[in-house]
Structure 1
Amino acid sequence: MYKNKIKEIEKVISNYFEGIFYGDVDKLESCFADNVFIYGDIKGAAYKKSIRQYLEGVKERQSPNDLNETFRMEIIGVDIIGNVAMIKLRVPMLGYNYFDYLSLTKMNDNWKIVNKIFTHVA
């Protein structure tokens, strides 16, 4: 059962990475539950956006792929208990070295991101 959960969560994270890297907003949106807010900091500046604002930003910017960046995103840690999970990611892109913490829960037989916090580490 645990291996199935890992595979299902890895699929969500793969879609998350691909959505960010290729600017595929539909794929990225499929990873999130409705009404999610994203919190973090970029070079010390506070960041808070709704999922709609976040997706609009991804849609409007050049993707890392368009900028010929190398895909280097990776899962650093996975913690699953029952139908909740905490995932730690390294997401280097667009000149930043992001670390994301994603909270997921299983909703209607699908894993969805219900919270995202992140920071940039130089």
Structure 2
Amino acid sequence: MLWTFQGIKAQNTIKMDNQTEVAAITAAIENYYFKGIYEGDEKLLGSIFHPGTLLFGDVKGEPYFKTIDLYLEGVKNRQSPKDSGKPFKGEILNIKVVNSIAVAELNLKMYDFNYRDFLSFHKINGKWLIVNKMLTDLSE
């Protein structure tokens, strides 16, 4: 059987308006997620999370699971990276947007850890919110 692909073009999966959405997610990550973690500001950090968000992953090879409330309580009660004097660097590696959902891959160096985060976003009432966080510790 012969297949002919004449006149068929690959579809561009990135819509022009996705650039606007990627920019909005980037701003949210930088202004709420990274800044909230760095400063230990659980209210600022919490404003980017949906109330039902769950966090899963592993830290130092041990399973990690928290509700968003437990996570934010931990942020509130620990010494912030800003106050610790240790290096802090948040980096956005990739953002993929499809309609009203998105996934961001981040690298976050803080304290003595090097985390890889995968954040799932959903655009709710015009605002990009994190609805799930997965993380792993890359430190050796």
Regarding TM over 0.5, the answer is yes
Query: Residue 19 of structure 1 is aligned with which of 26, 36, 46?
Result: 36
User: Is 1:64 matched with 2:81?
Assistant: yes
Match of 2:19 in 1: 3
Q: Cα offset for 1:71?
A: 3.2
Q: Cα offset for 1:8?
A: 1.0
Matched AA of 2:105: K
Give 3-state SS (helix, strand or coil) of 2:51's partner. coil
Matched AA of 1:2: N
Query: Residue 106 of structure 2 is aligned with which of 86, 89, 97?
Result: 89
| Deviation digits for residues 52-83 of structure 1 (CA, Å, limit 9, x no counterpart) | 00000000000110011233110011111111
Match of 2:65 in 1: 48
Give 3-state SS (helix, strand or coil) of 1:66's partner. helix
For the 8 Å contact 2:88–2:111, the answer to whether it is kept is no
| Deviation digits for residues 9-62 of structure 1 (CA, Å, limit 9, x no counterpart) | 012101100000110111100110011110110011111110000000000000
Partners of 2:35 and 2:137 in 1: CA distance: 20
Give 3-state SS (helix, strand or coil) of 2:65's partner. strand
Unmatched 5+ stretches in structure 2? 1-16
Q: Bigger radius of gyration, 1 or 2?
A: 2
Give TM-score, length-normalised by structure 1. Answer: 0.96
Alignment RMSD, CA only?
0.9
Partners of 1:5 and 1:72 in 2: CA distance: 23
For the 8 Å contact 2:87–2:111, the answer to whether it is kept is no
Q: Cα offset for 1:2?
A: 1.7
Query: Residue 32 of structure 1 is aligned with which of 46, 49, 52?
Result: 49
**1:83-122 correspondence to structure 2 within 5 Å:** 83-122=100-139
Aligned residues: 122
Give 3-state SS (helix, strand or coil) of 1:34's partner. strand
Matched AA of 1:109: G
- Paired-residue identity, %: 39
The ranges of structure 1 where at least 4 consecutive aligned residues each deviate by more than 4 angstroms after the TM superposition are: none
Matched AA of 2:125: N
